[in-house]
């Protein structure tokens, strides 16, 4: 397994889609990210009560929809009744929580997709196996990357799809220090995804010398983006793909 050669570097990952301009983790935000020339989209995958892979960040639906409750307690039909657009802006009224399958159908052939395995509330559930099966079904084996803060989920999906690149997410601060250290080698991965606060020039150099790419999440500030680019970062997760593009252009001029 190696990182995709045709994934441009530095890579602009649209974090939860173009989430500075459209409601996060909706088809509207993913389509917009593609229009805005992001190199890849990032999304958060978890299971509904009846085992469908849905794309939503939080464990509950409250912040991003007009509903109430835990995603893992709601079946897909109930999740589909919720409006995932109007709490962001009335202009997006009617947007729904998408399934991963719907995202593949909408933009799967137009971009790379970083699927964050977000089974943190139920770390041993079948999310990795279900995602792997869906990726195969939709012929997306060479268009997706997996990431997670959950190392077990990454091990399990790597067994099923050994050629698909993996990004190890490091938890901000001390709790994620192991992932940024040589101990991280315990998890199969090609890229380390570091939080802004933990990223140093030295960390980038050390990881790159050991053959890893280094990505940083989540950066919406042009000065920070410039600094990380000067340090040689391989990719940026941003809510604002046009801002990242402009900054990369200015830095590489
Ligand atoms: O992959 C980077 C980022 O998505 C991880 O944090 O909470 O935005 O999913 P979060
Ligand atoms: Mg995420």
pLDDT digits (tens, 9 = 90+) for 68-101: 999 999 999 999 999 999 999 999 999 999 999 9
Tell me if 19 CB under 6 Å of ligand 1.
no
Q: Is 237 in the pocket of ligand 1 (CB under 6 A)?
A: yes
> Around Cβ 99, how many Cβ atoms within 10 Å?
19
Q: Which helix (H) or strand (E) holds 45?
A: strand 40-47
* Residue 253 CA, ligand 2 centroid: distance in Å: 31
Residue 57 annotated as catalytic = yes
* Residue with CA nearest ligand 1 atom 6: 217
pTM of the full structure: 0.98
What kind and span of H or E run contains 108? none
Q: Is 189 a catalytic residue?
A: no
Catalytic residue among 15, 52, 158, 189: 15
Omega prior to 144 cis, within 30 of 0: no
Give the pLDDT confidence of 154-201 residue by residue, as tens digits: 999 999 999 999 999 999 999 999 999 999 999 999 999 999 999 999
């Amino acid at each position: 397994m190696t990182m995709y050669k045709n994934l441009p570097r530095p890579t602009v990952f649209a974090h939860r889609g173009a989430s500075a301009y459209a409601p996060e983790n909706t088809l509207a935000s993913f389509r917009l990210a593609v229009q805005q020339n992001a190199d890849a989209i990032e999304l958060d995958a978890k299971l509904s009560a009846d085992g469908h892979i849905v794309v939503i960040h939080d464990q509950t639906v409250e912040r991003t929809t007009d509903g109430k409750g835990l995603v893992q307690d709601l079946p897909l039909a109930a999740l589909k009744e919720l409006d995932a657009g109007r709490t962001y802006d009335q202009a997006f009224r009617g947007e729904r929580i998408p399934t991963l399958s719907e995202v593949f159908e909408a933009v799967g052939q137009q971009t790379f997709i970083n699927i964050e395995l977000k089974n943190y509330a139920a770390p041993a559930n079948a999310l990795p196996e279900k995602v792997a099966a869906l990726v195969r079904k939709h012929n997306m084996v060479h268009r997706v990357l997996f990431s997670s803060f959950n190392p077990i989920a990454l091990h399990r999906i790597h067994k099923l799809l050994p050629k698909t690149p993996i990004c190890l997410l490091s938890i901000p601060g001390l709790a994620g220090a192991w992932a940024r250290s040589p101990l991280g080698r315990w998890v199969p991965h090609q890229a380390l995804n570091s939080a802004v606060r933990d990223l140093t020039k030295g960390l980038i150099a050390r990881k790159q010398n050991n053959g890893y790419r280094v990505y940083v999440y989540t950066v919406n500030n042009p000065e920070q983006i410039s600094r990380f680019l000067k340090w040689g970062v391989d990719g940026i997760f941003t809510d604002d793909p046009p801002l990242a593009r402009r900054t990369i252009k200015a830095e590489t001029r």
